[in-house]
Amino acid sequence: VVVSREASGQRSETVRRANLSTIVRELHLRGPLSRSELVGSTGLTRGAIRGLIGELAADGLVREERSAPIGTPGRPSPLVRPRPERAAVLGLDIAVDSIGAALVGFGGHVIDHVRVDRARGHLRAERIAADLARLALPLIERNDARASLIGVGVAMVGVVRLSDGLVRLAPNLGWQDVPLGELLAGRLNLGLPVTVANEADLGALAEHRRGAAVGVDDLIYLSGEVGVGGGVIVDGQPLTGAAGYAGEVGHMPVNPVGASCRCGSIGCWETEAGERALLRRAGRSGSSDRAAVDAVLAQAEGGVPKALAALRETGTWLGIGLAGLVNLFNPSLVVLGGVFGRMAPFVAGEVEAVLDQRALRGPRDVVRVIPTRLGADATLIGAAESAFEPFLVDPAAWLSPRARPLRLASA
């Protein structure tokens, strides 16, 4: 078999791009690493690492620093440090009662971020897109980040079609079939791709990469707010379903004689385990905002029996849905985000007890339920991580021509 020179050239180019991707991903997820550590974690040769780091350094994406001698013999291996100011993304978050924006640099450094509360209730998508642009554009300007921006990621409380960022349904905002990706791309006018995904899916991604679930390949992130969202990671990969709609755990039917849900069904999990259910049980049916939830949590802190009982009953329903998820997905970790993270100290006993009663022994034995580590910003960080993904997959596409290795015209 004769392999043409052209074909083998293409193949080595493919290998080079794949190797660059491996190195860039390592640096993004783990931060500064020595060349020796990169050799160890990527399996590439010292020579290959040296060459590829040289390309990244020539383009300013990394800086090499002499690492401090650590008392061991031998030449210290230079430390390769990602430069967050050289490649950055904009993460945006649309929650039911707030919007947020963050600038995150290569390596995961949060350069700047801002979140503002907004009143709950239905708002037109155009209005929220305009508000987000008003929040994000000054953030970009004051950090002089325009030139280094490589993408925009958006976290959204709703059912989102991944291919184009169409929000099929956001019951708690009153949206149906809103082309959010398109709207935001127009409002921001940055000339960058805008990817939109469900907030709980992005919370899962964030906890997996930067939070409570680093190194854990099978996990469920639950986000509690007005609704209940879920993000599932199986074998290290996000579970998206055919179009990106998977993980709508809040609409699992759990109570056939339950309350009607905003999705049009009856007795969905979020009607029993969500914020409204908690407030109803705490005797605050009319109110539905964060201040009311804060008040119940503060009462529980102070030992008020009614608040504690409301939390315990909500915890029982949380456990019932979780038992089903644990049986289905066999996660080793369940991360409680949003209001569930704050409820965790008061509901952990009920959740564990219900799992003991209702989940199968096998999956029950291996699962731990813990609160979020990233808190309210998990979804924002996930949005930023999703915007980094095309860059991590093929960083060579972002390198300027001067960073490319020299090639002879007719080798």
DSSP string, 2-13: PPPHHHHHHHHH
- Between residues 229 and 331, which has the closer beta carbon with respect to Zn ion? 229
Q: Which stretch binds Zn ion (CB under 5 A): 109-117, 121-129, 244-252, 350-358?
A: 244-252
Query: Using a CB cutoff of 8 Å and minimum separation of 24, what contacts does 292-295 make?
Result: 293/339, 293/342
| Parallel, antiparallel or unpaired: strands 228-234 and 219-224 | antiparallel
Amino acid identity for residue 235 in this structure: D
Q: How far is the CB of 307 from Zn ion (least distance, A)?
A: 26
Shortest distance in whole angstroms from residue 36 CB to Zn ion: 53
DSSP string covering 48-110:
HHHHHHHHHHHTTSEEEEPPPP-S-SSPPPPEEEE-TTTSEEEEEEE-SSEEEEEEEETTS-E
Mask of contacts with Zn ion, 203-242, x by CB under 5 A?
----------------------------------------
Which residues lie below 8 Å from residue 398, measured CB to CB, with a gap of 6+? 87, 150, 391
Query: Based on CB atoms, which residue is closest to Zn ion, 49 or 268?
Result: 268
CB 249 within 8 A of CB 203: no
* Torsion sign over Cα 363, 365, 370, 373: negative
What is the 8-class DSSP label of residue 359?
Answer: S
DSSP per position, 260-276? B-TTS-BSBHHHHHSHH
3-state helix, strand, coil split of the chain in percent (to 5) is 45, 20, 30
Would you tell me how many other CB atoms lie within 10 Å of the CB of residue 126? 12
Hey, what are 218's tokens? 């099978």
Of residues 239 and 254, the one with the C-beta less far from Zn ion: 254
252 binds Zn ion (CB under 5 A): no
Stretch that binds Zn ion, among 122-130, 177-185, 189-197, 251-259 (CB under 5 A): 251-259
CB of 263 to Zn ion, least distance (A): 3
* Interface map 389-408 toward Zn ion (x if CB under 5 A): --------------------
**Residues contacting residue 272 through CB under 8 Å, at least 6 positions apart:** 254, 255, 258, 259, 314, 317, 320, 321
Pick 110 or 266: Cβ nearer Zn ion = 266
Which of 172, 372 has the CB closer to Zn ion? Answer: 172
* 410 contact partners, CB below 8 Å, separation of at least 6: none
Q: Taking CB under 5 A as the rule, which mask of x and - marks residues 256-295 in contact with Zn ion?
A: -----x-x-x--x---------------------------
State residue 156 phi and psi, 5-degree precision.
-140, 130
Q: Which stretch binds Zn ion (CB under 5 A): 200-208, 253-261, 283-291, 305-313?
A: 253-261
Question: Please, what is the minimum distance in Å from the beta carbon of residue 269 to Zn ion?
Answer: 8
Provide the minimum distance between the beta carbon of 53 and Zn ion in the complex, in angstroms, as a whole number.
Answer: 51
The minimum distance between CB 261 and Zn ion, in angstroms, equals 3
Piece of 46-54, 99-107, 118-126, 243-251 that binds Zn ion (CB under 5 A): 243-251
CB of 259 to Zn ion, least distance (A): 10
In angstroms, what is the minimal distance from the CB of 227 to Zn ion?
A: 8
Q: Which of 208, 251, 276, 281 binds Zn ion (CB under 5 A)?
A: 251
Pick 159 or 202: Cβ nearer Zn ion: 159
Q: Which is nearer to Zn ion, 29 or 266 (CB)?
A: 266
- Residues of this chain that interact with Zn ion (CB under 5 A) are 251, 261, 263, 265, 268
